[in-house]
Copies of this chain bind each other. A is one copy, B any other.
Amino acid sequence: MNHKIINGNLLIFDGEKFKTEKKDLYIKDGIIAAIGEYAGEDTKWEVTDAKDRLIMPGLINAHTHVYMTLLRNYADDVDFSEWLFNRVSPVEDRLPVEAAYWANLLGFAEMFRTGTTSYVDMHMYKCMSAKAARDAGIRAFIGRGLVGNDLFEDGLRRYEEAMAERKEYESSRIKIILSPHAPYSCSEKLYRQVAEEAEKHGLLKQTHLSEGITEVENVLKETGKTPVKWLYDIGWLNEKTILAHCVQMRDDDIGLLADSGASVVTNPASNAKLGNGFAPAVEMQKKGVNLCIGTDGTSSNNTLNMFREMGILSLIHKGIQKDSTAMPAQSVIAAATVNGAKALGMKDELGEIKEGAQADLIFIDLKSPSLFPNNNIISSLCYSANGSEVESVMVEGKFVMKNREFLTIDYERVCWEVEKITEKYL
Q: Which residues of A contact B (CB under 8 A)?
A: 70-74, 76-80, 83, 106, 109-110, 113-114, 268-269, 271-278, 298, 301-303, 305, 307-308, 311-312, 314-316, 318-319, 321-326, 328-330, 367, 369-373, 375-376, 379-380, 383-384, 386-388, 411, 415, 418-419, 422, 426
- Complex Cα–Cα for A305 and B305 (A): 15
Instruction: Please give me the residue from chain B that is nearest to A331 by CB atom.
Output: B77
Report yes or no: A415 in contact with B372, Cβ–Cβ below 8 A.
Answer: yes
Instruction: Please give me the residue from chain B that is nearest to A271 by CB atom.
Output: B319
- Complex Cα–Cα for A388 and B371 (A): 13
* Known pairs A324-B78, A372-B415; A384 contacts B298 (CB<8 A): yes
A88 CB, min distance to chain B CBs, angstroms: 12
Report yes or no: A386 in contact with B77, Cβ–Cβ below 8 A.
Answer: no
B-chain residues with CB within 8 Å of residue A379 when the two chains form the complex: 73, 76-77, 302
Report yes or no: B388 in contact with A326, Cβ–Cβ below 8 A.
Answer: no
What are 23 residue pairs bridging A and B, where the CB atoms are less than 8 Å apart in the complex?
Answer: A70-B373, A72-B384, A73-B379, A76-B379, A77-B329, A109-B369, A113-B370, A268-B315, A268-B319, A273-B319, A273-B383, A274-B324, A275-B318, A275-B321, A275-B322, A278-B319, A302-B380, A302-B384, A303-B384, A305-B370, A308-B311, A311-B312, A387-B388
* Known pairs A303-B386, A324-B78, A387-B388; A373 contacts B72 (CB<8 A): yes
Select A272's contact among B79, B315, B386, beta carbons within 8 Å: B315
Select A74's contact among B321, B376, B418, beta carbons within 8 Å: B376
Report yes or no: B114 in contact with A422, Cβ–Cβ below 8 A.
Answer: no
Select A315's contact among B70, B273, B387, beta carbons within 8 Å: B273
Report yes or no: B76 in contact with A376, Cβ–Cβ below 8 A.
Answer: yes
A415 CB, min distance to chain B CBs, angstroms: 6
The list of the 8 closest CB pairs from A to B, nearest first, reads A388-B388, A272-B319, A73-B379, A275-B324, A110-B369, A77-B328, A73-B376, A302-B383
Report yes or no: B419 in contact with A373, Cβ–Cβ below 8 A.
Answer: yes
Report yes or no: A79 in contact with B324, Cβ–Cβ below 8 A.
Answer: yes
